[in-house]
A = this chain, B = another copy of it.
C-alpha cells in the first residue's frame, strides 16, 4: 500500500503523521524551513507563495495557540485564511465531517489545516479527497486525538538540529505523560527516523503506554536515571484533566518525581537543551527557573515552528 501522504512520485501530498515518512522528506522539510526563518527577520515578513490560495483552519477542537501559528504562517505566505471553529459537542446542525469537507472543497479550498479530537480524522479526510479525485487539495494534521502532531515533531527536530547540528550522536529524553500525548508519538517517530541512536522515555507507569518500548525507546521510571548524560530533554505538557485523574496522585507529587528542576537537569550533559511544546504548566512539569533558564530553547521552538509550517505549506502547494 502506498503511503497516503506521498504522491506517486514520492513527493509530500499531505502531512498527516511522521510515522512512515522517509528520512529524505523530513530532511527536505527541515532544509526548506531555513530560508523562512530569514523572512521572519525582514521588514516585510511576506512572500507571495500562496497568493490566491484558500487555506482553511478546520478546528474541531479549540486551540487558539496552534491555530494562530498556522494562521500567521499562511498569511505570511499571502494565502487567504478562513478560520472555522467547529464545536463538535454542540453539533446542532449535525453535518458529518466529510460533508463539511466536501462543501469546503466545492468552495475551491486549497489546503485544510485540521485539528480534531479523534485520532485519524485528518487521515480520513485525505483518504476521502483521494477517493473524490481531489488530489490537488492538501491536508495538514494540526493534532488528532492521541495520534500525531507532525508539525510539532518537525519544529522540534528543526530546533534540535539548530542547536546540536546532527542527530546521529545524541541521547534524547522525552519526559512526562506519554500515554495521552500525540506530541510524544510524533517526536519519537521523527527522532528514530532521523537516526538518533538513543531515545529515552521517562514517566510513571500509569502515564507510559504498555507497548512503548516497541517504538525503539528505552523506558525509565526514575527521572534522574533517565536524564543521565542526555543531550536533549523534551518535556511534555501535563493536561489539566489528568492532574485530578486516577492516574496521578497530585500535581505536586508529579512535580516532585517528574517536574524538571535545575537539580534534576544537572544529571544531563552540561550543554543539554530543554524543550517544551507549550503551553507550560510552571511548577507542574517544569520549574520556572528551568523554563526561563539558559538551557531552555522553548521560545526558539515557537519561532522555528512558524518557519517549519511555512515550509510545509509551500512544499504542499508546490506539489
Contacts and interface: CB of A to CB of B under 8 A. Distances in A.
A107 B68 contact: yes
A54 interface: yes
A76 interface: yes
A33 to B, nearest CB: 14
A240 interface: yes
Given A71-B82, A108-B45, A240-B92, A103 B52 contact: no
Interface in A23-58: 40-46, 51-54
Contacts of A192: none
A311 B107 CA distance: 15
A86 interface: yes
A299 to B, nearest CB: 4
A107 B303 contact: yes
Give the interface centre of A51, A72, A93 by most chain B CB atoms within 10 Å.
Answer: A93
30 contacts: A41-B108, A42-B52, A44-B51, A44-B52, A45-B54, A45-B80, A45-B108, A46-B52, A52-B76, A64-B86, A65-B103, A72-B82, A72-B107, A75-B82, A76-B80, A93-B279, A94-B240, A95-B280, A96-B282, A99-B278, A99-B279, A100-B279, A102-B299, A103-B278, A105-B299, A106-B301, A106-B302, A106-B303, A107-B305, A108-B303
Given A45-B108, A72-B80, A107-B302, 14 more contacts: A46-B51, A54-B76, A65-B103, A68-B104, A72-B82, A75-B80, A92-B240, A94-B279, A95-B280, A100-B279, A103-B302, A105-B299, A106-B301, A107-B303
